[in-house]
Amino acid sequence: MNLEDKAKHIRTLIIKALAEAGSGHTGGSLDLVDIFTVLYFNHLRYDNKNPKWEDRDRVVLSIGHTAPVLYATLAAAGFLPEEELMTLRKFGSRLQGHPSLDSQLPGVETSAGSLGQGLSISNGMAFAAKFDKKEYRVYCVMGDGEIQEGSVYEAAMAAAYYKLDNVCAILDRNRLQIDGNTENVMALEPLADKWHAFGWNVIEIDGHNHFEIKDALVKAENCKGKPSIIIAHTIMGKGVPEIENNNKWHGKVPTKEQAVEWTK
């Protein structure tokens, strides 16, 4: 399966799981699919048979409510059976509404859900790699609304000060949050300038272009002495034209009929 087909498959898994769950976050989960596809099928070092392999690259999903894209990608990558995705958000499921370390789902690196903590956690993992002289890299996936949280900038300062070049933040810049456009709710621009000023290597890409995603991940890895942030311009709800760029789909899920229609 090529990357385009993988991405399409993961989108299908997400839509079906969300329709079955009856609640969850559709827009952000779908717009991160291309990034997760390239990460898991063309970039990361991991072993799905040994998910706690010491030298694995870490993916910290800081934007916890997009758990479906993590779960669906992990399933597609062989960490869990794809059928298990249909237990999403149900009682007793390993697929909690937001990622949970408690549930012991292979491939989940940390619990998340309260926004703004993942970059700090990623820094901690990156410090540990430096202490232990390990080569693994830490990828922190954040939402654009999320970085209105002040603690993100505490972490941004620290990563640059300590030259944590094994940290790569990936910012899902879909420009939408629950209340509307980020620039109306609480403006983030000039976004790239801010991260430059904090001492980061900033890479801006089309977050749906697989070539650009891979290229950015490689550039980030090759950048030494500073952390990198990939500002990925995305379209919320990408892949389902009728919901694209509509913030009403932040926390809304398709009906089962819509799911059938969308995944034809």
Partner 1 sequence: MTYINKGDKPTKTGFGEGVRDAAMKNKNVIGIGADITASVGMNIFSEAFPERFISLGIAEQNCVATAAGLALSGKIPVFSTYGVFAAHRANDQIRISLCYNNLHAVIGGAHAGVSVGPDGATHQALEDIATMRVLPRMTVISPCDATQARIATEKAILELNGPVYIRFGREPVADFTSENQDFTIGKGQVMRDGDDACIIATGHEVWESLKAAERLEENGLRATVINIHTIKPLDEELLLDVARRFKTIYTVEEHQVTGGLGSAVAEFLSEKMPTRIVRIGVNDRFGESGKAGELMHHFGLDAESIYNKVYSDIIEK
Contact positions vs partner 1 (CB under 8 A): 60, 100-102, 109-114, 116-118, 120-129, 131-132, 150-151, 154-155, 157-158, 162
Integer Cα distance of 97 and 118 in angstroms:
17
Taking the complex as a whole, how short is the minimal distance between the CB of residue 99 and partner 1, in angstroms?
10
Which residue, 121 or 243, has its beta carbon nearer to partner 1? 121
Which residue, 31 or 146, has its beta carbon nearer to partner 1? 146
Taking the complex as a whole, how short is the minimal distance between the CB of residue 135 and partner 1, in angstroms?
13
Which residue, 162 or 223, has its beta carbon nearer to partner 1? 162
DSSP letters spanning 59-72:
EEE-SGGGHHHHHH
Long-range contacts of 190-197 (CB under 8 A, 24+ apart): 191/144, 191/231, 192/231, 195/156, 195/229, 195/231
Which conformational region is residue 218 in: left (phi greater than 0), alpha (psi within -120 to 50 degrees), or beta?
alpha
Taking the complex as a whole, how short is the minimal distance between the CB of residue 47 and partner 1, in angstroms?
17
Closest CA to 32 of 232, 183, 249: 232
Taking the complex as a whole, how short is the minimal distance between the CB of residue 62 and partner 1, in angstroms?
10
Taking the complex as a whole, how short is the minimal distance between the CB of residue 52 and partner 1, in angstroms?
11
Which residue, 129 or 191, has its beta carbon nearer to partner 1? 129
Which residue, 89 or 238, has its beta carbon nearer to partner 1? 89
Q: What are phi and psi of 206, to 5 degrees?
A: -80, 115
Determine the 3-state secondary structure of 17 from DSSP: helix
Are 204 and 120 spatial neighbours (Cβ–Cβ below 8 Å)? no
Which residue, 132 or 183, has its beta carbon nearer to partner 1? 132
Taking the complex as a whole, how short is the minimal distance between the CB of residue 119 and partner 1, in angstroms?
8
